[in-house]
Amino acid sequence: MNTPSAHDARTLLDRAETTSRQAAGFSFAWLCYLALCAGGAITSVGLAYANVTDAAVLPAWLAGGLWVFVGVVSIAAATTTSPPSRRGFDSRWTIMMAVWIILWTMTSVFNDHFTLGLGVAMAAVIGLVWEVVALKKGVK
């Protein structure tokens, strides 16, 4: 094997960095996560509002459930059509889905806290930002 010069080695490192960074794109699965979180936030706020005003809870479940349904049924199509995702996507997705499941469960059980809606909205932002940061950061 020919020994690369320092300049050649730097060129190879730059090429490796660029190739790795540009290989991945934003996964559309995060748009489904956004829909899931929208459903969670709508349900949470709707249930809390119903508790405060003695209104019916069904509209809150229907409105939130519709967004959750959209999120769930779109995941397969989103992952199929997405560009390759940044390394570590599986871990980020699993963690954020676990957060969503916990918040959704809390919303269903303790349905009188407006703050849960804020929590679900925050989860959506954190998930999206985490993915964007992973994409920008690239691979060392």
Partner 1 sequence: MADHPRTQLNPAFTNPLRFSLMATLAGVSEITFKDAKEYLQTTDPTLSKHSSALEELGLVNVRKGFVGKRPQTRLSLTKEGEAAWRDHLAALRAITEIP
Q: Which residues bind partner 1 (CB under 8 A)?
A: 1, 3-6, 9-10, 12-13, 15-17, 19-24, 80, 83-90, 138-139
Of residues 3 and 53, the one with the C-beta less far from partner 1: 3
Q: Give 24 or 47: the residue with its C-beta nearer to partner 1.
A: 24
Q: How far is CA 59 from the centre of its chain?
A: 25
Least separation, in Å, of the C-beta of 70 and partner 1? 22
Q: For residue 122, count CB atoms less than 10 angstroms from its CB and return exposed for 0-12, middle for 13-18, buried for 19 or more.
A: middle
Packing angle of the helix pair 89-109, 114-137 (nearest 10 deg): 180
Closest CB 80 distance from partner 1, rounded Å: 7
**2 Cβ contact list (under 8 Å, min separation 6):** none
Q: How far is the CB of 127 from partner 1 (least distance, A)?
A: 16
Nearer to partner 1, 65 or 88 (CB): 88
Amino acid at position 28, single letter: F
